[in-house]
Amino acid sequence: MCVRKGQLCAEDQARAIDWGLRLQIDASSFRDAREKLSAAYGRQASVSDTVWSLMQDVLQRSSSWHERKMIYFHMARFLWEEKRDSLRLQREAVRMDLANWKEQSDMGLLDLKRVRLRVITAREASCPECRALEGRLFTFDEADSAMPVPVAGCTHEKTEGRTRGWCRCVYGLSFE
C-alpha cells in the first residue's frame, strides 16, 4: 500500500498517479485511456500499458523539439524503472536537442561550424566512463553520428536486473 494525495492506494494506482503528475495527465484522462485500451485488448489494460499509451499520444501531439525531448526522457525513465533497456529512448531525447540546434542553424540563429558540443557530467558523482568524457568537445556532426552521450556503458545507478545505468551526461554549447 502507498499513500498518494492523502489516500491509501495500491502500488499500481500510486504509479499511475505519479506518472500522471509527471505527464500532467489527470485521473479522468488516465481512466478514459485505460478503458479504451482495455476494450482494444479484450482485458483490463495494465497501468504500465496505459501510461505507455498516454506517453505515445503526448509524443504524437508534441509540437516542439523540447516537448519531444521531455517525452522521450520520460519514456526512457519509465523503461528504466521497469528494468528494461532505455538507451535508445535516452538517445532520442538527445537527438531532439540536436534537431533543435540544427533547426536554429537552418534559421541562421546558430552557426554550427563555430559551435562545439561540450560533454557535461555530474563530475565526481558520475561513473568512470562518463567522467572520462567530461569536457570533451564534439562537432555537431560527430555528436549526431557517434552519439557518445548518453554513455552506453554508464554504470550510474546500475543495479541487479538492469542492463545499464542511468546516464546523466548532457551537451552544452561551446562557442569558438
Q: Is the pLDDT of residue 13 over 90?
A: no
Q: What is the torsion angle, in degrees rounded to the nearest 10, for the CA atoms of residue 76, residue 77, residue 79 and residue 84?
A: 100
Model pTM score: 0.85
Residues 63-103 have pLDDT tens digits of 899 999 999 999 999 998 888 899 999 999 999 999 999 99
